[in-house]
Amino acid sequence: DSDDPDSEDDTAQLLAELSRIKKERAADQARKETEKRQEEERIRMENILSGNPLLNYSGQATKADLKVKRRWDDDVVFKNCARSEPEKNKNTFINDSLRSEFHRKFMEKYVK
């Protein structure tokens, strides 16, 4: 049966059909990849353009829309002041002679 010419022709046709199908699938895969890359690039560009409000300016917007919004306390003189000064010199007792404030001052004064 393997010497039959019809069988060889059928095998050749099947191999040709298989290679054609593989080529079509590869072309289809490549086309899908390029479409996917183009879509991702388009989405990326839309995000870039819509992220910048200066480039997102449309003709219908009025000058009031372009005005910088201010908070109610922007013109206050003492804006960033804390309510009370933090107490730096808290005299807390430390029962460790090496970590006590007296030991630190002594070492700074006489050793350094």
Residue 112 has pLDDT above 80, yes or no: no
pTM summary value: 0.39
Residue 57 or 37, more confident: 37
How far lies 88's CA from each of 34, 85, 93, 98, 103, in Å?
64, 9, 14, 20, 18
**DSSP-assigned letter for residue 68:** P
> Which distant-in-sequence residues (6+ apart) come within 8 Å of 54 by Cβ?
none
Determine the Cα–Cα distance for residues 112 and 107; give it in Å rounded to an integer: 7
> How confident is the model over 40-72, as pLDDT tens digits?
999 998 888 777 766 665 555 555 566 778 888
Residue 54 resides in a domain: yes
Whether 21 maps to a domain, the answer reads yes
Q: What does the mean pLDDT of the chain come to?
A: 82
Total number of domains constituting the chain: 1
* Amino acid symbol at 67: K
What domain range includes position 52?
Answer: 1-58
